């Protein structure tokens, strides 16, 4: 471990269950599907707004 805080966003594009990110890790986000709001979610997550 480097001690450097990083983030991971995983976007699944098919309609089935998606669980790659650790739900206990605040630096990981799973997104299932992609629509016009997904870009805002990704942006806000990267900027620590959400």
* pLDDT tens-digit readout, 13-38: 876 776 788 888 889 998 888 889 99
Task: Give start and end residues of each alpha helix (H) in the chain.
Answer: 38-46
> The tokens of 1 are what?
């471990």
Tell me the pTM: 0.73
pLDDT at 2 exceeding the cut of 70: yes
Q: What is the pLDDT of residue 15?
A: 67
Q: What are the boundaries of each domain within the chain?
A: 8-46
């Amino acid at each position: 471990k480097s001690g450097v805080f990083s983030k991971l966003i995983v976007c699944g594009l098919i309609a089935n269950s998606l669980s790659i990110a650790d739900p206990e890790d605040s630096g990981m986000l799973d997104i299932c599907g992609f629509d016009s709001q997904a870009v805002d979610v990704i942006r806000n997550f990267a900027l620590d707004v959400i």
